[in-house]
Amino acid sequence: MREAIIDYGNTLKLERGRSDHTVAGYESDLLQCAAWLAARKRVRDWREVTQAQATDWLYSLSGDGAAVSSLARKLSALRGFSRHLVREAVRADDLTALLQGPKRVRRAPGTLSAGEVEKLLAAPQGGDALALRDRALLELFYSSGLRVSELAGLNLQQLDLEQGYLRVFGKGAKERVVPVGGKATEALKTYLAAGRPGLVKTRTGSALFLSERGGPLSRKTLWFIVQKYAARAGIARGVKPHQLRHSFASHLLGGGADLRAIQEMLGHANLATTQIYTAVEEKRLVEQHAKFHPRSRE
């Protein structure tokens, strides 16, 4: 059963361009399922698994207190894998065809206020290479609404500062063009001229943002950078990197940007995913009304 899972992971990676992080998550969920089937149902071959047994696995997770989002992700992994088994003629039927997943309530993403963003972007001070890098990184993060993995994986060739945009290869290796704002362009030019050269080492490649060792930044380092400057900016609540992406979308929508344009910039496959930001804007409007309208207060 493990070999079939690894084969599926290779298919996701090589044929569909899924990231290592995504593939590892799917493989972990499926290995968990295989272990449960072997231990509880004495099943050691995917051809023997029944829909009832797959349902029992999901119910067992629910009984263990797994979050709805976790259950939905595990079911998604099993669905994709089951269809893969049918395509590869391992099974004649899709064992997840009749499975019903838990209803997932989409929560409004956490965002920063415009004032908090200003403080965060102003936090990197000084003219040394790391300060210039971090200033450019934060400006670009907020200016373009990139995913953390996209920001960490940027190469010099993807950037066109003269035209004011960059090309990003997002989920599923899909390419999209993302604008780069004036402030971010200015910070990037300064970093490329006076910051990045000081971080280049003998084996440095074409990564845009470099670590002190001259290699590309990891997602863990990006996380640390955002948290460090959030603390320095005096933002009391915890700030996570993806909140800059959410703030980018929410602030664009609040400024009157078209929802479909925001969808394209974020790289969302479905408009429904982008519509979650309308809830953020609606909540802000209600709060503003309650705060300032003379008839809102008792």
Is there a catalytic annotation at residue 171? Answer: yes
- Catalytic residue (choose from 41, 79, 167, 171): 171
Reported in sequence order, the residue ranges of the chain that DSSP labels E, i.e. its strands, are 159-160, 165-169, 175-179
Q: What pLDDT, on a 0 to 100 scale, did the predictor assign at position 282?
A: 57
- Catalytic residue (choose from 8, 26, 142, 277): 277
Fold topology of 2-87: DNA polymerase; domain 1 (1.10.150)
Q: What pLDDT, on a 0 to 100 scale, did the predictor assign at position 236?
A: 75
> How confident is the chain (298 residues) per 10-residue block, as mean pLDDT?
93 82 91 94 92 88 70 88 93 85 58 90 95 96 89 93 87 79 95 96 94 92 92 86 85 82 79 66 56 54
- Catalytic residue (choose from 74, 135, 147, 246): 147
Please tell me the chain's helix, strand, coil percentages from 3-state DSSP, rounded to the nearest 5.
60, 5, 35
Within 10 angstroms of residue 236's Cβ, the number of other Cβ atoms is 8
| CA terminus-to-terminus distance, the chain | 64
Helices 276-292 and 242-254 sit at what angle, rounded to 10 degrees?
A: 60
pTM of the model: 0.63
**CATH 1.10.443.10 domain residues, the chain:** 114-291
**CATH 1.10.150 domain residues, the chain:** 2-87
Q: What gap in Å lies between CA 215 and CA 135, rounded to an integer? A: 18
Q: What pLDDT, on a 0 to 100 scale, did the predictor assign at position 281?
A: 56
As given in the structure block, the two tokens for residue 134 are 């971090």
Distances (CA, A) of 61 to 69, 104, 134, 259: 12, 15, 42, 36
Is there a catalytic annotation at residue 147? Answer: yes
* DSSP secondary structure letter of residue 213: T
Looking at the DSSP bridge assignments, the partners of residue 261 are none
User: 114-291 falls under which CATH superfamily?
Assistant: Intergrase catalytic core (1.10.443.10)
